[in-house]
């Protein structure tokens, strides 16, 4: 096989590429990433000399480039993760999100369909988000049958791309699968996101921002578990179907930040509770959904997937990684990225 992974230098993408090299050692991987602010080759450095991995810098909206990759490498599968994913940025630059998340997805679908018409075995896996479903409310779980109700330009662009992927299956018979996943966390996540930003600021003993009163609830999934789910759906998922992926670890943001701060205290030898004094509540962002949570019964019953890393263990691994990889953090960030003008941080666990 030859697999095209888009968004491969981002958080989930870079973790996925490493996961696939271990899982499918004989498969050629073609990584495509535009290397915007959240994508960095530093996240793929360990694969620099791997003959089974090729990195290509480019945009998924570049039809000529995408076509050439399919033709030159005889690609048999696409794992599509490339996306603009920062909610605050989507409020300021919504058209940019439409261009990448909608137009880019359509270019990939069109070129993958051309390849499928030339040969059998092509498969397209679109990686999406729980935000397409909107605000869950205090009870219940999102499932594959939940109506779409996006509340931000980011979520609307991802919802649109989901619909296009699904339409390619129903209109053309093109073999697609979709996963909608909840918040991810773990190594190589860009430090404007909630957990790595909390770690960085706690290490520097600087204020840790938290939207509103920190009562927004998210379901957190360790990124390696997500990579396993993506690969399993790609391998075994029923064509034309969608699978919800979640961590079964619902936590209020204020509690999550407290857990991270306590872990930083523990690993730096400070008195436990020192970091909690750094929390600073800031004005909430527009359209901030209160709660997300996923029903994973389908992917469990059909494919035998469940998360394997409990939240406390995943947070311990994550804090440990960021403390040990301060050089990576310095290389991929600067202060203007960490305090984006539309908000202090994003509580999304995306790319």
Among 131, 162, 262, 347, the one annotated catalytic: 131
| Terminal Cα-to-Cα distance of the chain (whole angstroms) | 25
Q: Using the 8-state DSSP alphabet, how is residue 29 labeled?
A: E
Residue 62 falls in the annotated catalytic set: no
Looking at residue 347, its pLDDT comes to 42
Q: How far apart are CA 70 and CA 76, in angstroms?
A: 8
In DSSP notation, 46-69 reads: GGTT-TTEEEEE--TT-HHHHHHH
Phi, psi of 217 (to 5 degrees): -105, 130
Tokens of 78: 């696409």
Residue 219 falls in the annotated catalytic set: no
Looking at residue 87, its pLDDT comes to 78
Among 154, 243, 292, 345, the one annotated catalytic: 154
- Give the residues across from 125 on adjacent strands: 79, 177
In DSSP notation, 148-170 reads: P---SHHHHHHHHHHHHHHHHHH
Looking at residue 334, its pLDDT comes to 62
The total number of residues shown for the chain amounts to 351
Going along the chain from its start, the domains and CATH numbers come out as: 2-184+222-245 (3.40.50.720), 187-218+250-292+310-338 (3.90.25.10)
DSSP H helix total and E strand total for the chain: 13, 12
Looking at residue 286, its pLDDT comes to 72
Looking at residue 318, its pLDDT comes to 98
Phi, psi of 193 (to 5 degrees): -75, 160
Query: Could you count the other beta carbons within 10 Å of the beta carbon of residue 170?
Result: 10
Among 130, 219, 225, 262, the one annotated catalytic: 130
Looking at residue 88, its pLDDT comes to 74
Q: How far apart are CA 350 and CA 256, in angstroms?
A: 17
Mean pLDDT (10-residue bins), the chain, 351 residues: 96 98 96 90 93 96 97 95 84 92 98 93 95 90 96 94 98 98 96 92 94 90 98 98 97 96 97 95 76 95 98 98 94 58 41 49
Residue 131 falls in the annotated catalytic set: yes
Looking at residue 287, its pLDDT comes to 62
């Amino acid at each position: 096989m030859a697999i095209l992974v888009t968004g491969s230098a981002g958080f989930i993408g870079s973790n996925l590429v490493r996961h696939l090299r271990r899982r499918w050692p004989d498969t050629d991987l073609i990584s495509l990433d535009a290397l915007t602010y959240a994508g960095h080759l530093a996240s793929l450095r360990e694969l620099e000399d791997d003959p089974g991995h090729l990195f290509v810098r480019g945009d998924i909206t570049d039809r000529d480039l995408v076509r050439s990759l399919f033709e030159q490498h005889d690609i048999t599968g696409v794992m599509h993760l490339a996306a603009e994913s920062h909610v605050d940025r989507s409020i300021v630059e919504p058209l940019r999100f439409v261009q990448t998340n909608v137009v880019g997805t359509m270019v990939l679908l069109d070129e993958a369909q051309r390849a499928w018409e030339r040969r059998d075995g092509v498969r397209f896996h679109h990686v999406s988000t729980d935000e397409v479903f909107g605000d869950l409310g205090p009870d219940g779980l999102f499932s594959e049958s939940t109506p779409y109700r996006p509340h931000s330009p980011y979520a609307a662009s991802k919802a649109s791309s989901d619909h296009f992927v699904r339409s390619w299956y129903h209109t053309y018979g093109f073999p697609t699968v979709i996963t909608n996943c909840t918040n991810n966390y773990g190594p190589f996540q860009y430090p404007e996101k909630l957990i790595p930003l909390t770690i960085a600021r706690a290490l520097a003993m600087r204020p840790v921002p938290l939207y509103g009163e920190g009562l927004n609830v998210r379901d957190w999934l360790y990124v390696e578990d997500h990579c396993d789910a993506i690969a399993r759906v790609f391998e075994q998922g029923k064509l034309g179907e969608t699978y919800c992926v979640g961590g079964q670890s619902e936590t209020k943001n204020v509690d999550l930040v407290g857990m991270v701060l306590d872990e930083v205290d523990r690993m730096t030898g400070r008195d436990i509770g020192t970091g909690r004094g750094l929390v600073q509540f800031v004005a909430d962002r527009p359209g901030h959904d209160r709660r997300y949570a996923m029903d994973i019964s389908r992917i469990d019953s059909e494919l035998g997937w469940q998360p394997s890393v409990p939240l406390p263990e995943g947070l311990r691994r994550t804090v440990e990684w960021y403390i040990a990889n301060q050089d990576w953090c310095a290389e991929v960030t600067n202060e203007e990225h960490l305090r984006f003008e539309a908000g202090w941080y994003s509580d999304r666990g995306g790319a």
